[in-house]
Amino acid sequence: MDKKWWKESVVYQIYPRSFNDSNGDGIGDIKGIIEKLDYLKNLGIDVIWLSPIYQSPNDDNGYDISDYKAVMNEFGTMEDMDTLVEEIHARGMKLMMDLVVNHSSDEHQWFIESKKSADNPYRDYYIWKKGDNGKPPNNWSSFFSGSTWDYDETTDEYYLHLFSKKQPDLNWENPALRKEIYDMMTWWLDKGVDGFRMDVINLISKVDGLPSTSSGKDLDWGGEYFMNGPLVHEYLQEMNQQVLSKYDIITVGESPGATTKDAARYANAEGTELNMIFTFEHMDLDSGPGGKWDVKPWTLGDLKEVMSKWQYDLAGKGWNSLYLNNHDQPRMVSRFGNDGEYRVRSAKMLATFLHMLQGTPYIYQGEEIGMTNVRFESIEEYDDIEIHNMFREAVTEGGQDYDKVMEAIYVKGRDNARTPMQWDNSDHAGFTTGTPWLKVNPNYDEINAVNALNDQDSIYYFYQHLIQMRKQHDVIVYGKYELIQKDHAQIYAYTRTLDQDELLILCNFSGEKAEFSYEMTSKQDTVELLVQNMETVEDQFLSELTLAPYEARVYKIS
């Protein structure tokens, strides 16, 4: 068992714009985060992942960076950042920065130079190409709708942007660009930050020649030409040698389209690239062939299959990161649980399910109080560029049915996760004294942190307990995973084993009672109920038991 502190840690993600506003301008900020550090310490988390706070014109809420060594004015100053690092460390926690280096903002000085002329020294910091008879160089469609290419008159060429046109892709083939990035990373690490979450890091290497897809369509998903591309491992190994390996840090690479085979390289146990990656396979279970907005119901069978594949395939070879939501995804309790009658119980069940798997768990702000998806009445109330671009293409230009598209936004839209954190039941949930940049979910009256802190049975304290259990039982971190009773239609059941210790994890994913029977395997002496999400659990023999709707139990058998 290869012990590492980042395997034993629990990470909490802060989306700064929506976390806590200290000065009443309606936008969360760094001072606001500092005010809430004790709340996080009390929860028990070890590491904070901070979504981008760098200078940015905010086309994509900070994922479009115009200066990697400056702080966005709305969020505060570099002094505030230094204080944040100090205050986090003073509480024995660590800070993981978001690193967005597949692309920059088009307002970054590098791009401003790059655009000036074809022989500008910064030209090759980005990816420029001549058009194809008045059309873009290839037919790739962007993550945010439309083409991945934008035309620039000055030099009569197009530049590549996998995301918005204000997020031009950086050219990793250029060693000068790579050096700039490594230097910038070193600069932050020397300031004392403890690691990086790397935005779409598996997109940095594109296939030579940037070919169109074979479909002949005007616009098509070109993922095979830029996801897990030919040189990505080479670049990450170089980054590891020049930067990461010199520090004792935590690294996680966001990697859409990565298979477990890819992951076993990115997150290899020898440590030559990253510590772990974020997979998207479980996030795609409710997408039909038309992609993210083509919503279909997910099934428990598929969830078991995908999660188990990642558990088995990385065992001993790499390390998993565990998450059910983040700032790009709907709220976990609305998506995989029940955000009505069984909100509290199902949120705890999902937390149990996730935290007992092998890997490093990530909690997204508000998850610990069971925040839910939101339904705004009109499209104007939404902010997210992905939502607006899709809506324009589908409804305004494409003539699709308004209600149907809004329904997809209610289920999948990223703003579900971005409504302000609900601190108390005062105006705007105590997030701001001003007008919030995005409306607060109207259910803040009931769902808020003060209520959670005043209730010993709250989801918040449940997470606290899960985290404490992780610190006390090695088997939770290092135990071997095994899926059991794979065909059970309601219960996701699995075991974890380490030496003499075995955990039995039972999660009822349905709103109905569920029967379960378990054959004791070896010479078990003691059976201890470590975790449970019901007020009372009837004393039952493991061999024959009934779980209530969304009930979860963890038994330790030794």
Q: What residues make contact with ligand ISL under the rule CB under 6 A?
A: 60, 63, 100, 143, 163, 199-200, 254, 256, 292, 327-328, 386, 414
CB of 194 to Ca ion, least distance (A): 25
Residue 163 touches which member of ligand ISL, Ca ion, none, C-beta under 5-8 Å by kind: ligand ISL
The 3-class SS string of 56-73 reads: CCCCCCCCCCCEEEEECH
Sheet strands side by side (includes 157-160): 128-129, 157-160, 149-152
- List the single partner that 262 binds among Ca ion, ligand ISL, none, CB under 5 to 8 Å by kind: none
Chosen from ligand ISL, Ca ion, none, partner binding at 556 (C-beta under 5 to 8 Å by type): none
* Burial (CB count within 10 angstroms: exposed 0-12, middle 13-18, buried 19+), residue 209: exposed
The partner in contact with residue 29, picked from ligand ISL, Ca ion, none with C-beta cut-offs of 5 to 8 angstroms by kind, is Ca ion
| Complex with Ca ion: residue 29 or 80, whichever CB lies closer | 29
Phi, psi of 228 (to 5 degrees): 55, 50
Name, in order, each residue with C-beta under 8 angstroms of 254's C-beta and a sequence gap of 6 or more.
197, 198, 199, 200, 201, 202, 277, 278
* Residues recognised as catalytic: 199, 254
- Among Ca ion, ligand ISL, none, residue 21 binds (CB under 5-8 Å by kind): Ca ion
Amino acid making up residue 451: N
CB of 287 to ligand ISL, least distance (A): 9
Q: Which of 368, 296, 299, 307 is nearest to 510 (CA)?
A: 299
Q: Annotate 496-514 with b (16+ C-beta within 10 A) or e (fewer).
A: bbbeebbbbbbbbbbbeeb
- Provide, rounded to whole angstroms, the least separation between the CB of residue 171 and ligand ISL: 17
Question: 252 vs 137, 199, 243, CA distance in Å?
Answer: 33, 9, 15
Rg (CA), the chain: 24
Q: Taking CB positions, which residue lies at the least distance from Ca ion?
A: 29
Pairing of strands 195-198, 250-254: parallel
Q: Please state, in angstroms and as integers, the Cα–Cα distance from residue 79 to each residue in 85, 190, 196, following that order.
A: 10, 15, 20
Q: Which is nearer to ligand ISL, 75 or 478 (CB)?
A: 75
Tokens, residue 473 = 């039982």
Which one of Ca ion, ligand ISL, none interacts with residue 200, CB within 5 to 8 A by kind?
ligand ISL
Closest contact distance (angstroms) between CB of 152 and ligand ISL is 21
Residue 521 has which token pair? 């395997």
Q: Which is nearer to Ca ion, 29 or 286 (CB)?
A: 29
The residues that touch Ca ion, with contacts defined as CB under 5 A, are 21, 23, 25, 27, 29
Instruction: Give me the least distance between CB of 236 and ligand ISL, in Å please.
Output: 17
Q: How far is the CB of 76 from Ca ion (least distance, A)?
A: 8
